[in-house]
Amino acid sequence: MKRLFLRLLGLAACVSGGALAASGCTSVYALTSTGINWVDAQSGAVTGTYTTSFTAINGAALNPVTGQLYFIDRSAATTNTLYRYNPQTPTVAPVQIGAVTIPTRNGGTTTSVNVGASFDNSTGTPKLYLLYGNYVLQEVNPSTGATVRTIDLNLANGAQNSTTAISNATTTNGDIVFVGSTLYALLDGETTAAGSGGMFYANFGTVAASGVTALSSSSVVRITSGGTNVARGIYNGISYDPVTARTVLSSGSTGSSGTVLLNTSSGATTVLGSAANLTDMTDCGNTPDPPTIAKSFNSATVLVNQNSRVTLTFGNTNPTPFYMRSAVTDTLPTGVVVASTPNPSTTCTSSTGGAATVTATAGSGSVTLASGTSIPGGGCTLSFDVTANSTGSKVNTIAVGGVVSTAGTNAVVGTATLTVNNAITGTINKRQRNVTQSGTLGTAAVSAKPGETVEYCLTAAHAGTGYADATTATLRDVIPSPLVPLTNSYGTGQDVRITRNAGTSYTYATLASDSDTATYTSSSRVLGINILPFTAGTTVEVCFQAQVP
């Protein structure tokens, strides 16, 4: 075909059955004479993915299971060669499958060209059909290009929006599409009224697995534009998109719109995009898995003015890419900004296989992944550095519907939480008493005679919420000379008593060089006690006794 056609199919006809599952139908594609492009079925915009070495390609069909794109090279008059292109590896050249014999119509035109193609996946085993300008439907083996059978198509009966009878023209432009098991065709046709030929959207029903050599349309809709019947050859491609349930037509003729939306009930078209030189479109009826989005911080807890690295994971469980119909923007929570050195990196790509465009400006409150980005089968990631400049729990979210793609939108929110604290701080209070004289603990200095015992209690208090938890915390006290720290002050093996959060249950440690929490170094006269865990709201009291020699 020479033009691109996008059609909207009625909901009753578009149901392919079953829950969502992985599918190769992750995007609509359109051909030009030399290139392969993905199509936004909502806006009709056409974006390039690969430029071939051919000069006249047509007959595009997307395998609904694998997502591989098949097309025909008809660069020379007698060339009719089948190729396969993998959108998952967009920079790799198409693979030649084999020459396809151009079919002859029974009692009709003996020579023709390919104008369209589609896969019938109603049995679960995709069957490839090609359409020719002599109204012949040809089933071919997608692995070899060998002909399986041919079927003559015949426009019959009157159009639903016309009172005149319809028949085949001498030759046809157009395309075919399978929705479920039903074959629809975009064809040129003639009517009984003089000079009233045009283009028609015809329902040919189910194509039987065998025993059929001709099919006649069971219903036909005449295609119009602005209330006027369109002429023959205006549209050359048709696509059904299972995500939007829209039928789109393509056109390559001078002065016509590149893509239009077709109302399959009335035949009316609505202009979408203005892409030039389109020759055909793919269709694919299996609804793909929609995208997913997940978020994470590599350091989930940081101090004020420290960095963390954000990673967005775009999930794609389908075998081939889907494309972003709009940019994805990650708006950072208050108190978090893009770091002074953002270090953006992504495994997502552009539609042509190059690096995807990421906008990450130092100091800004958001990062954007560009519209048109390709999310390959298996998914991809986007990472960048952020700086936290205030304390608190920072919830970073991409909402439901925030990822808008040719495979649909995300149904589950993507979220991650960054906890930001001030640097750890706290207070220490020291009390003492003369045990021998039955004194009371207090902050005032005490006096002691030789042989008397003094008790010291040090209390450390964490500053609380908004301050970091300690990763190391040792309470140290230098015991003045000539005091000698005592052992077994609180019982056998209980040299030091530890109390948490002003409780009445205690733990104990010895001053010996062992594996518990307390140590005493006689050379420096330093007593040290490990008081971990030391977290927000924690107080730890450490008591020990010493004697005046």
Reported as a single tens digit per residue, the pLDDT across 88-121 is 999 999 999 999 999 998 766 566 899 999 999 9
Using one digit for the tens of pLDDT, what is the confidence trace for 200-217?
A: 999 999 999 999 999 999
Cis peptide before 482 (omega within 30 of 0): yes
Instruction: Please name the residue that has the structure tokens 């440690």.
Output: 509
Weakest mean pLDDT among 36-45, 272-281, 394-403, 414-423? 272-281
Say if strands 35-39 and 46-51 run parallel, antiparallel, or are unpaired. Answer: antiparallel
Q: Tell me the average pLDDT of the chain.
A: 90
Read off the tokens for 544.
Answer: 């020990």
pLDDT of residue 512: 83
Angstrom CA distances, 45 to 38, 130, 321, 367, stand at: 8, 26, 17, 24
Are 4 and 275 a contacting pair, CB within 8 Å? Answer: yes
Please give the residue that has the higher pLDDT: either 71 or 252: 71
Please give the residue that has the higher pLDDT: either 278 or 469: 278
pLDDT > 90? residue 472: no
pLDDT of residue 159: 60
CA gap 184, 180 in Å, rounded: 10
Return the number of other C-beta atoms located less than 10 Å from residue 511's C-beta: 21
Percent of the chain with pLDDT over 90: 78
pLDDT > 60? residue 15: no
pLDDT of residue 254: 53
| Overall pTM surpassing 0.85 (yes/no) | no
CA gap 477, 543 in Å, rounded: 11
- What is the average per-residue pLDDT within 425-443? 93
Largest CA distance in the chain: 130
DSSP string of 490-520, one letter each residue: TBTT--EEEEETT-S-EEEE-SSSSSSSEEE
Q: What is the DSSP code (8-state) at residue 202?
A: E
Using one digit for the tens of pLDDT, what is the confidence trace for 336-389?
A: 999 999 999 999 999 999 999 999 999 999 999 999 999 999 999 999 999 999
pLDDT > 80? residue 534: yes
Burial of 449: CB neighbours in 10 Å, binned 0-12, 13-18, 19+: exposed
Weakest mean pLDDT among 32-36, 153-157, 259-263, 329-333? 153-157
Weakest mean pLDDT among 33-37, 293-297, 514-518? 514-518
> What per-residue string of b and e applies to 124-138 under the rule 16 or more CB within 10 Å gives b?
eebbbbbbbbbbbbb
Q: Rg of the chain over CA atoms, in angstroms?
A: 38
- What is the average per-residue pLDDT within 232-241? 94
Name the band, by pLDDT with cuts 50, 70 and 90, for residue 8.
very low
Name the band, by pLDDT with cuts 50, 70 and 90, for residue 326.
very high
Name the band, by pLDDT with cuts 50, 70 and 90, for residue 19.
very low
CA gap 179, 183 in Å, rounded: 7
pLDDT > 90? residue 17: no
- What is the average per-residue pLDDT within 412-420? 97
What's phi and psi for 56, nearest 5 deg? -155, 85
How far out from the chain centre does Cα 441 lie?
A: 64
- What is the average per-residue pLDDT within 171-188? 95
Q: Following CA atoms 157, 162, 163, 165 in sequence, which dihedral angle do they give, to the nearest 10 degrees? A: -30
How far out from the chain centre does Cα 505 lie?
A: 54
pLDDT of residue 513: 72
Task: Go through the chain and tell me how many residues it has.
Answer: 549
